[in-house]
């Protein structure tokens, strides 16, 4: 028993370090929008499109990397994902064209993220932790991703100011390389097949037949739209409104810092109260916060308060959403099913980051995208209200008569 607890604790620590590195580096990409676009004379749409492709590839590949992790364990997937992440950062530092940006920041880093982030990592944690502690454990690991954002954003800005954006990306590649040995040490074991477990195809068919599964997917689309639009375009939005570049960096760092509290609290609350109802309230409050941010006068103080408030709600959706998938469908195919839900998150991310750049180049402002984000908050709140987290009935083992 003590050995099992030690193994579980080690897995949670390693998983937290991997996701902290992957998400911490990823949340700094918005800081490269202005210097790269200025140096090459791009509109913001070029950089935004590359990151939109990144989020799309991340999402499209996630069900497949999740299925591979369910079958072969997470370690191999994390190692391959880490290698692709490093290559993407190195090639991004050499990019001088829209095509180069799309291949490096879009394709390579997109595939890298699919192997080093939520579905693969939380799937491994979900299999290792007892059901009554699963939501809390997922909250802890999700919070680690937020700590990475808080810790690395100021460092990323410092690297850009010290080395320039190209060399800063190479330094980030060296940091990303740490995920490779960390991932190799993750001793995740696929769940042994038991009587009554579904095959991969049957699990897909079962999920496809559940209305709640699709409502969860659509709700996660909204989360992706909002958070990635904000993460990439908020520094530019603040800069356009006369605030210093450092303010945007500090706001995103505050998001990361307070999301540590938010994700941990969400995981804890998800073990006590209804996870779908918690998600409904979370999205409604997000809508209120965004409305207040764009309606009230914009100052450095209001920007910092926005970062704090959004941070408390930022990735709080992740342990709750993955917890619902685990509760309803079990953990045998958790990484794969969680990957499908995450695909919709990334479709939303694609729309949020791309639409932000497209409409900015078209109109010169972000007002329309902020308004869309508010409306989507109300839609997501309504969708989650009708989701059930009760486990689906499964056939039990046949009774053996003497």
**15 within 8 A of 124, measured Cβ to Cβ:** yes
Residue whose structure tokens are 């509109």: 43
Determine the Cα–Cα distance for residues 141 and 266; give it in Å rounded to an integer: 12
Tokens of 11: 């897995």
Q: Does a structural domain hold residue 402?
A: no
Cα Rg of the chain (Å, integer): 20
**66 within 8 A of 346, measured Cβ to Cβ:** no
Determine the Cα–Cα distance for residues 356 and 49; give it in Å rounded to an integer: 10
Determine the Cα–Cα distance for residues 141 and 143; give it in Å rounded to an integer: 5
Half-sphere exposure of 142 (CA within 13 A, CB side): 34
Residue 184 CB burial class (10 angstroms; 0-12, 13-18, ≥19): middle
What integer pLDDT is reported at residue 121 of this predicted model? 85
Q: How far is CA 348 from the centre of its chain?
A: 12
Q: Does a structural domain hold residue 309?
A: yes
Domain interval for residue 206: 2-188+202-385
Q: Does a structural domain hold residue 18?
A: yes
Q: Does a structural domain hold residue 208?
A: yes
**49 within 8 A of 102, measured Cβ to Cβ:** yes
How many Å from the N-terminal Cα to the C-terminal Cα in the chain? 33
**306 within 8 A of 370, measured Cβ to Cβ:** no
What integer pLDDT is reported at residue 357 of this predicted model? 81
Q: Does a structural domain hold residue 395?
A: no
Q: Does a structural domain hold residue 197?
A: no
How many C-beta neighbours within 10 Å does residue 396 have? Answer: 8
Determine the Cα–Cα distance for residues 318 and 27; give it in Å rounded to an integer: 16
Half-sphere exposure of 384 (CA within 13 A, CB side): 26
Per the structure, how many domains does the chain have? Answer: 1
**282 within 8 A of 228, measured Cβ to Cβ:** no
Determine the Cα–Cα distance for residues 16 and 105; give it in Å rounded to an integer: 23
Q: Does a structural domain hold residue 61?
A: yes
Tokens of 321: 């959403």
Tokens of 331: 């953990």
Please list the ranges in the chain whose pLDDT falls under 70.
1-5, 189-197, 331, 394-402
Q: Does a structural domain hold residue 398?
A: no
Determine the Cα–Cα distance for residues 237 and 138; give it in Å rounded to an integer: 32
CATH number at residue 362: 1.20.1250.20
What integer pLDDT is reported at residue 398 of this predicted model? 44
């Amino acid at each position: 028993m003590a050995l099992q607890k030690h193994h579980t604790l080690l897995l949670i620590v390693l998983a937290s370090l991997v996701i902290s590195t992957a998400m911490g580096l990823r949340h700094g990409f918005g800081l490269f929008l202005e210097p790269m676009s200025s140096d090459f004379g791009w509109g913001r749409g070029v950089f935004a499109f590359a990151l939109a492709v990144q989020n799309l590839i991340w999402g499209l590949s996630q069900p497949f990397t999740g299925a591979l992790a369910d079958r072969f364990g997470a370690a191999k997937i994390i190692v391959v994902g880490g290698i692709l992440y490093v290559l993407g950062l190195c090639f991004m530092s050499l990019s001088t064209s829209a095509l180069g940006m799309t291949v490096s920041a879009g394709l390579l880093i997109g595939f890298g993220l699919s192997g080093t982030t939520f579905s693969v990592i939380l799937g491994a944690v979900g299999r290792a932790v007892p059901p009554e502690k699963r939501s809390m454990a997922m909250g802890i690991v999700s919070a680690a991703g937020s700590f990475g954002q808080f810790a690395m954003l100021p460092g990323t800005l410092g690297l850009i100011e010290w080395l320039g954006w190209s060399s800063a990306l190479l330094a980030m590649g060296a940091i990303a390389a740490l995920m490779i040995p960390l991932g190799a040490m993750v001793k995740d074991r696929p769940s042994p097949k038991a009587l009554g477990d579904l095959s991969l195809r049957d699990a897909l068919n079962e999920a496809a037949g559940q209305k709640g599964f699709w409502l969860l997917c659509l709700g996660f689309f909204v989360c992706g739209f909002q958070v990635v639009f904000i993460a990439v375009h908020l520094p530019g939005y603040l800069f356009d409104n006369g605030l210093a570049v450092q303010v945007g960096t500090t706001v995103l760092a505050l998001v990361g810092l307070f999301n540590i509290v938010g994700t941990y609290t969400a995981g804890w609350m998800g073990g006590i109260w209804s996870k779908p109802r918690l998600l409904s309230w979370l999205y409604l409050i997000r809508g209120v916060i965004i409305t207040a941010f764009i309606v009230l006068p914009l100052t450095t103080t209001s920007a910092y308060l926005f970062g704090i408030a959004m941070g408390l709600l930022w990735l709080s959706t992740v342990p709750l959403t993955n917890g619902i998938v685990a509760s309803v469908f079990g953990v045998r195919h958790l990484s794969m099913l969680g990957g499908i839900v995450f695909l919709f998150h990334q479709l939303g991310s694609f729309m949020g980051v791309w639409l932000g750049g497209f409409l900015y180049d078209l109109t010169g402002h972000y007002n329309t995208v902020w308004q869309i984000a508010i409306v989507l908050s109300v839609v997501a709140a309504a969708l989650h209200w009708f989701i059930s987290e009760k486990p689906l009935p499964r056939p039990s083992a046949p009774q053996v008569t003497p």
